Structure 1
């Protein structure tokens, strides 16, 4: 398994966890935080601590995802030569696509004839 594949799997796992953490949150007081601390009781850390945990985990997972994406760019197998683009390769030759030619203008005597001439 290549290094890029490992990074790809980690990116997918972190993205899934980030989706789950975001979906659990509810900005209007619902979600997981309200079920743990509803009614003013302090169950499992209370509303404030659950909200803080979800907020911190969201930022942490987002940062980890960004770092994994940036580091995975280094792990991409660029093949022999390691040139990223043909625009950067001095040996690459490219041909410009042929431009379409305009149709030749033909004159049609019937089209240019006046109605008087055609009678």
Structure 2
């Protein structure tokens, strides 16, 4: 699963680079006022556009596979269950910070019998 996550990060970086090196298409603020393309720019744009779609599809497939593996409990779940078993064996500390011998509950403070009168 770690391999798929690393691969997903690499594909995301590659997609960002593909998007950044493309020439802006369409109108709006991205147009520079010239409507003509230089030599071979259209062919390069087609390759970059197809590469963008391929990388996008690869990101979708990787994220779905990572989600499926995580939900089905792949090989990482065996390690998680061992860690959980170890944590279950460790006794929980007392909220008051007192320690008691094994098998005994911590002593609670009770007032003395002679202190019940008010002055």
What's the TM-score once normalised by structure 2's chain length? 0.48
Structure number with greater CO (CA < 8 Å, separation at least 6) is: 2
What's the TM-score once normalised by structure 1's chain length? 0.48
